[in-house]
Amino acid sequence: MGRRGRRRKRSWEPETAVIETLDRKGRGVVPAGEDGRPRQAFVHATLPGERVHFQRRDREGPSDVAGVLEVLESSPLRVEPRCAHYGVCGGCSLMHLDPDEQVALKQRWLASDFEGHGLAPERWLEPLRAEPWAYRRRARLGAKWVAGKDKVVVGFREQDKRFIANLEGCEVLAGRHGGALIPKLSELIAGLSLATKIPQVEVSVADDTDGAVTALVFRVLEPPTDEDRERLRAFAAAEGLRVFLQSKGLDTVALFADERGQTEGEGFEDARELSYALPEFELDLRFRPTDFVQVNAAINRSMIARAVELLALEPEHRVLDLFCGLGNFSLALARRAGAVFGVEGDAGLVARAAANAERNGLSNARFEVRDLYTQVGELEWLGGQPVDRVLLDPPRSGALAIVEHIDRIAWAGKPRLVYVACSPETLARDAAVLVGTHGYRLSAAGVMDMFPHTAHVESIALFERD
C-alpha cells in the first residue's frame, strides 16, 4: 500500500488525572473539560477516585481509549490481579477490583437502568455468587502463527485490539486442564501442517458422570494431512480430550477423536454429545460442543433454583418457557410443575430439549420451534389453554416483542413471570413495558455473577399482576 493509503499512527503525550467513575465496560472515565481536555478518555484497569498517569492510544467515537502507565494514588478497593496477562488480555476487565465490589457495582448498574425508566424493584434479591476462579466452561480462543514470536499465539483478543493475546495460561478457564490447556494448544498447532490454517479453537467443558470432559472444536481452513490427524489423535488420547473439527459452518462440526484417542468403534458415537448435571432436580442434560449453554456451571445451578423459587410452582401448574434452548430451565420446571411448554427459535436446540426430556423420563414437557421475534403476534400460546407461570430467558437483545404481546397469554390466575436477562439495559426497557403498559409490578430483582472479573451483568426479575 502506498504512503498516501496508510493511516498515520497518532501519538499522544502522557497525562495525569483522577478517575471519576467506571463505564459499562469497567474502564475508568476521565471526563472531557477537566484541565482543558477536549475529549473524554476511558482508562483500562483503573478505579474511581484513583489518581493515575495514563496515555491515550486510540479513538472510540467521541472519546479516546487509554492505558494506565502508573497508579499514583490507589483506591482501597483495588486488589492485585491474579492473572499475569491482565491488562493485555481482553478476557477480563475487573480483576483489579475487589470481588465483593464487582458484584455491588453490577447491582448498582442494574438499579441505574431501572431508574432510567422510572422503576425500582419492591425487593432486591441477594446476589448469586460462586467461586470466581476456573469457572468458565465455554470459551472461544483465537489462534495465529506469529513469525516474530516464532510460535502459535493462542488466547482471547487483546484489549481494544484485533490481535490475539499471547497467553501462557488463564485463571478463569474451567475443567481438568484449566488455563494450562493454552500452551499445550499452542505447541500442538505449531506442530501441524495446518499451523497457519487454524484461526480458532472453541473450548467446551462438560461434567459427565465419570468426571469433567473437555471438548475442543478446531476451525480448520484446510483438510488435515494424515500426519496431522495422527498428531491430533495422539493429543486427544494423551490429554483425555475430545477433538472435533469444523471445516465451514456449524453444520460441518464433526467428532474426530474421543478422549481415548479413538476415531471409531464402540462408544465413539456417544462422544458426539457432552452433558451437564442439575443434581437438585436429578437431571442430566446433553448438548453439543457448539450449543449455547450457560458459561458458569455453579451459577447456572443456583439461577435455576432461584427461578423455580420465584415462580412458586405448584404440582398442577402449567408453565410457558420462552427462549427455552436445550431445556436448561424447562426440565427443572417440569420436575416441579404439571406441564411445561418450551418455545425456541433454533430447531437444533428444540430437538435437544425434546431428547433431554425423554432421556430424563419427563413426559410433561413439550417443545416447539417458533421465531420469538417475528411470529409472536400470530401465536396462540398452548392453543389458548390457561397458563399459570411464564419464564423468559432471551438473548442480549431482550424480549420486547414478547412483552408487547404478553396479554395474548391466557392466565389461569394472577400472572407471575420471571425474566432472566443477560443485558440489564434490555431488561429495564422490557420491564417498563410490562409495568407501564400492562400493569405488572416489578416485585423483585437482583444480579447473578455469571462472569466474575468482567463487566457482564446477568440478572433476574420477578413480575406480578394483581
Binding residues for S-adenosyl-L-methionine, as ranges, are: 294, 323, 344, 393
Residues sharing a CB contact under 8 Å with residue 43, sequence separation 6 or more, in sequence order: 19, 27, 28, 29, 30, 52, 54, 66, 67, 68
Q: In this structure, what C-alpha cell is assigned to residue 361?
A: 423420563
155: β partners: 142
Q: Is 422 a catalytic residue?
A: yes
Give me the long-range contacts of 216-221 (CB less than 8 A, separation at least 24). 216/185, 216/241, 216/242, 216/243, 216/244, 217/244, 217/245, 217/246, 217/253, 217/289, 217/290, 218/243, 218/244, 218/245, 218/246, 219/246, 220/194, 220/245, 220/246, 220/247, 221/194, 221/197, 221/247
Kindly name the residue from 92, 170, 324, 422 that is annotated as catalytic.
422
Half-sphere exposure of 47 (CA within 13 A, CB side): 18
Q: Are strands 241-246 and 416-421 parallel, antiparallel or unpaired?
A: unpaired
**Residues contacting residue 339 through CB under 8 Å, at least 6 positions apart:** 317, 318, 319, 364, 365
Q: Is 338 helix (H, G, I), strand (E, B) or coil?
A: coil
Rounded-to-integer distance, Cα 455 and Cα 326, Å: 26
Beta pairing class for 138-146 and 318-322: unpaired
Residue 257 has phi, psi (to 5 degrees) of: -145, 140
Binding-site annotation, residues: 294, 323, 344, 393
Residues known to be catalytic: 422
